[in-house]
């Protein structure tokens, strides 16, 4: 009698395919003057590791990084998202505007000042001070003399006193110190210094405000600015 052996074949079980990652992101903070910080929001799926290349030589492995661009230009940002199912990359180009090299003072507003000197005496013997401004450098040289635009007989109720500079006073480079003096104009004698503020545009690098409030020696000034 012949014996017939029947062997059963086991079907090979295939490992389930892992979902492939898809890299994606959005960003805010571009199209601003350098230095500018751009914040990135990761929108990748099926990933748990990330490599950001910011286009200026810097990188990050954070999920949602922010990055400071120090100069203007077009930068191609590449995100590579990696997960159990592999890797995927996406690139997007953003723009950073060049850093300003000129700050222009458009106007000066005197919003607060003392109406008596350190001895308690008024600036003028018979009436209120005739207020004017001057802009000087660190050596004390007068670069802009606003005495011809003075406001006579100023009292507290007259504040603010506003001067529009035409043409605007420009400061370049922007890391330059200037002093803005407020004085009581005297025709024959040297004008009395009521107070002053220091201004260096570089302090506002990165924010470039259109208005700043400066409080210095005894006076408060508001400057309207333009950046180029």
Q: Which overall architecture, per CATH, does domain 25-96 show?
A: Sandwich (2.60)
pLDDT attached to residue 127: 83
Q: Per-residue confidence at 12, pLDDT binned at 50, 70, 90?
A: low
pLDDT attached to residue 117: 80
pLDDT attached to residue 174: 96
The answer, yes or no, to whether residue 14 has pLDDT greater than 80, is no
Q: Which of 204, 219, 205, 211 is nearest to 134 (CA)?
A: 219
The least confident of 6-10, 79-83, 186-190 is: 6-10
Query: Coil, strand, or helix at residue 218?
Result: coil
What is the spatial distance between Cα 201 and Cα 220, in angstroms, rounded to a whole number? 17
Average per-residue pLDDT in the chain?
A: 93
Q: Per-residue confidence at 175, pLDDT binned at 50, 70, 90?
A: very high
The answer, yes or no, to whether residue 213 has pLDDT greater than 80, is yes
Half-sphere exposure of 116 (CA within 13 A, CB side): 4
168-178 mean pLDDT: 98
184-191 mean pLDDT: 86
User: Could you read off the pLDDT of 93-123 as tens digits, one per residue?
Assistant: 999 999 999 999 999 999 999 998 877 777 7
CATH class held by domain 103-227: mainly beta
Share of the chain above pLDDT 70, in %: 93
Q: Residue 85's beta-bridge partner residues?
A: none
What is the spatial distance between Cα 94 and Cα 76, in angstroms, rounded to a whole number? 6
Backbone angles phi, psi at 157, to 5 degrees: -70, -15
Q: Per-residue confidence at 17, pLDDT binned at 50, 70, 90?
A: confident
CATH 2.60.40.150 positions along the chain are 103-227
pTM: 0.81
Q: Per-residue confidence at 1, pLDDT binned at 50, 70, 90?
A: very low
């Amino acid at each position: 009698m012949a014996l017939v052996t029947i062997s059963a074949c086991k079907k090979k079980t295939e490992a389930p395919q892992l979902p492939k990652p898809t890299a994606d992101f959005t960003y805010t903070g571009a199209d601003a003057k350098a230095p500018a910080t751009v914040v990135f929001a990761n929108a990748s799926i099926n990933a748990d590791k990330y490599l950001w290349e910011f286009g200026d030589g810097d990188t990050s492995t954070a999920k949602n990084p922010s990055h400071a661009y120090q100069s203007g230009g077009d930068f191609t940002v590449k995100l590579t998202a990696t997960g159990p199912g592999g890797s995927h990359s996406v690139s997007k180009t953003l723009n950073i505007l060049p850093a300003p090299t000129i700050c222009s003072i458009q106007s000066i507003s005197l919003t607060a000042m003392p109406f008596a000197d350190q001895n308690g005496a008024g600036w003028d013997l018979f009436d209120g001070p005739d207020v004017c401004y001057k802009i000087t450098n660190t050596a004390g040289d007068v670069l802009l003399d606003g005495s011809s635009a003075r406001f006579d007989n100023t009292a507290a109720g007259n504040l603010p006193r506003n001067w529009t500079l035409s043409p605007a006073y420009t400061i370049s480079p922007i890391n330059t110190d200037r002093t803005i003096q407020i004085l009581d104009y005297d025709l024959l004698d040297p004008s009395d210094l009521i107070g002053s503020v220091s201004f260096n545009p570089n302090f506002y690098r990165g924010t470039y405000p259109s208005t700043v409030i400066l409080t210095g020696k005894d006076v408060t000034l508001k400057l309207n600015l333009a950046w180029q």
